Amino acid sequence: MRIAIVGAGGVGGYFGGRLATAGSDVVFIARGAHLNALRTNGLRIESPGGQLNLHRVAATDDPTTVGAVDAVLFAVKMYDVEQAASLLPPLVGADTVVVPFQNGVDGVSMLQRAIDPKHVAGGVAYVAAVIEAPGVIRHTAMEHLLFGELDGTRSARLLRLLDACQAAGFQATLSEQIETDIWAKFVRLAVFSGMTCVTRSPIGPLRDDPDLFAMIQAAFLEGMKVAHAKGVPLPRRVFDEAVTMTQALPPQAKSSMLEDLERGKRLELPWLSGALVRIGGELDVETPIHRFIATVLKPHADGRSSLG
């Protein structure tokens, strides 16, 4: 299967590397020092499951040299979606599927405005991975992709992607309710990202402190209320699974947003806690914990340069 990875960071670099190792024809669309390293030295993935070295990978910043592919895994940060979407037309053929793996709930609609909506599916990535250095991905926890057609059908194009993912050995699910899955992750991630950022702490100390763990659970429930008001039928098990996942993560696990905060990079805050506050306000649902998170992190939202 021919797969383009648009955004070769933690998500795209990790899953793209695994797919390439298993035999998929993968090309990375990247930029800057990371692109130069991929071209020169290949891709290295450091993971609890062992180190993976791909000494030669296909990487470019010019999608016109790639042509149409079977699938695009669109894995840029939310604040880069509009710019990166302009790279898609040369990659999209008659049967191409583009799967966005952005955090939050806005990725699908943003892509549908950029390309023909018939090419857009929905996607969710559960993985803790970051660019450790140019050409190097550090993976610490989780490795699960969910994707599905927006109408719930089990299409041939996504069944082929599922086969490729299963051959690569990581967990993959073809979902028949991808909007619900997107919201389920959104509710969980907004809490994980926001709470680790405001405390500048990995998850271990937060879940071990009764007051902070109670705050985490209350923030989960805020997100659930917003989803229900929006008409997204998140079942109670989403809350239970969020609590279980929080308890099961390695104590040193950090959200990618905390990694970005520590490096002085731009934050996805407006699309996580900020989005819950915005959507909650539109639906008359109070979100005091997420409002606190969005407010106190506001000076850092645009990265270190915004602090003067």
Q: For 174-221, how does the pLDDT look when each residue is reduced to its tens digit (9 = 90+)?
A: 999 999 999 999 999 999 999 999 999 999 999 999 999 999 999 999
Q: Check whether 34 has a pLDDT greater than 80.
A: yes
Q: Does residue 135 share a domain with residue 147?
A: yes
Q: Does residue 66 share a domain with residue 166?
A: yes
Residue 154: Cβ within 10 Å count: 12
> What does the angle CA 261 – CA 85 – CA 189 come to, to the nearest 5 degrees?
35
Report how many domains make up the chain. Answer: 2
- What's the pLDDT score for residue 306? 42
Mean pLDDT, range 57-64, rounded to an integer: 98
Q: Does residue 189 share a domain with residue 153?
A: no
Q: Do residues 274 and 294 make contact, with C-beta atoms less than 8 angstroms apart?
A: yes
Q: Does residue 269 share a domain with residue 247?
A: yes
CA 105, 110, 113, 114 torsion-angle sign:
negative
The sheet with strand 69-74 has its strands ordered as 58-60, 25-29, 2-6, 69-74, 92-100
Q: Using CB atoms within 10 A of its CB, is residue 122 exposed (0-12), middle (13-18) or buried (19+)?
A: buried
Range of the domain at 114: 2-176
Q: Check whether 296 has a pLDDT greater than 80.
A: yes
**Single-letter code of the amino acid located at 113:** R
Q: Tell me how far apart the alpha carbons of residues 282 and 152 are, in angstroms, rounded to a whole number.
A: 27
- What's the pLDDT score for residue 304? 79
Q: Check whether 20 has a pLDDT greater than 80.
A: yes
Residue 308 pLDDT grade (very low, low, confident, very high; cuts 50, 70, 90): very low
Per residue in 124-171, pLDDT (tens digit) is 999 989 999 999 999 988 899 999 999 999 999 999 999 999 999 999
**Count of positions (residues) in the chain:** 308
Q: Does residue 271 share a domain with residue 241?
A: yes
pTM: 0.92
Domain boundary among 145, 176, 207: 176
- What's the pLDDT score for residue 307? 41
Tokens representing 203 are: 């998850």
Treating both helix axes as pointing N-terminal to C-terminal, what angle do 288-296 and 210-230 enclose, rounded to 10 degrees?
Answer: 110
Residue 243's CATH number = 1.10.1040.10
Q: Does residue 30 share a domain with residue 87?
A: yes
Q: Check whether 300 has a pLDDT greater than 70.
A: yes
